[in-house]
Amino acid sequence: MEMENNYIVSSINVDVYHTFIREAVKDVNSCLQEFQGEEPQIFKNPLWSTDEAKTLIVAEKDIMIKKVECLSRRLKEEKDLVLNASTELMEQSRLIELLNQDHANEHTTYCNEIFVRADEGFGSVSTKLTMAMDHIEKSRVQLKECASTSNMTKEEPSTDQKIFGYELPYRQSSLCLAEKKEEDLARALNFISSIVELSREIDEFEHTIQQKIELNALRMEEVKYQFYLSVEHVNSIRKKELLYRTAFYNRCCNLEKAEIEVNLLGDEVDALVNLLERLHVTLYQYSPILKNYFGVMDILNLIRKELEGPDSQLQTNQ
């Protein structure tokens, strides 16, 4: 029952983790598309018609695009790492499910191999998530630098712009663009913080799974020890059974031999009794002659008593 509860809890945690991963990847893609597809408001302003302003803005846009592309590549790498980690977690959950289904039938060695593979898989997942967290932190720093650079660049107009008298419209458009960039940056930072929080929850989930696996491994060792004790007890019982069976067989053989010997002795006794009867009959015929000899009549009386049995002796005594 406890094993089934642990399996249900692990399955629910894995499903929740997969849901978080899918939503996080969707948010990453949407943020990147919005951030890359955004056109600066300055290009839409009809006041900027000079070549100097356009050149400055184009150069600034190129720098920002390069930084955004670099960050997008990094975030795509993080996406790949997270997807790989999700795939490996699905594999580990499948192994745990296989272990729970075959817990009563599989051999102990196979269970130990599954535990080792699960530990290795969770270790690789932890390594990849750690790498993803490092890259995310670097991306956060670069986003902050990009935002600060953008603010510094937008806040100071060039001398050409001051000369042409476009300082005020430039400041207004740059402030709008900076506010929007700050909002986008805040959303990106919030998203990154949610990813960090998600990674922490994943670490906690991994730690919980490892504790449960260690507990199950200890239980398996205890069951294995008890199984060995039971095997030894069964072997001792089998040895005693074989010993008792051998002794019983020997006694049966001895009883059969004794029965045969008793039958032989009975036959010999019958033969001797017949011989005594014949001797008694023969001696009794010559008793008138043999009575003159000392002791012969006593022998005849003794033979007669033995042949007649104890009943005749009781009657004679009475």
Positions in the chain short of pLDDT 70: 1-62, 64-65, 67-69, 71-72, 74-76, 78-175, 309-318
Assess if residue 127 is contained within a domain. Answer: yes
Residue 166: predicted pLDDT? 43
d(CA 191, CA 218): 40
Residue 281: predicted pLDDT? 83
Assess if residue 33 is contained within a domain. Answer: yes
Assess if residue 87 is contained within a domain. Answer: yes
The answer to whether residues 99 and 111 touch, using CB atoms and an 8 Å cutoff, is: yes
Q: Which domain holds residue 80?
A: 2-237
Assess if residue 284 is contained within a domain. Answer: no
d(CA 140, CA 195): 12
Residue 245: predicted pLDDT? 94
Residue type, 220: M
Domain tally, the chain: 1
Q: For the whole prediction, is pTM greater than 0.85? A: no
Assess if residue 315 is contained within a domain. Answer: no
Residue 126: predicted pLDDT? 54
CA distances, 215 to each of 11, 74, 116, 209 (Å): 18, 38, 14, 10
Assess if residue 271 is contained within a domain. Answer: no
Assess if residue 299 is contained within a domain. Answer: no
Would you say the C-alpha torsion 179, 180, 181, 184 has a positive or negative sign?
positive
Residue 288: predicted pLDDT? 75
Assess if residue 258 is contained within a domain. Answer: no
pLDDT tens profile 29-81: 565 555 455 444 444 444 444 555 556 666 666 676 676 667 667 666 766 66
Q: Give the containing element (helix H, strand E) for 249.
A: helix 167-285
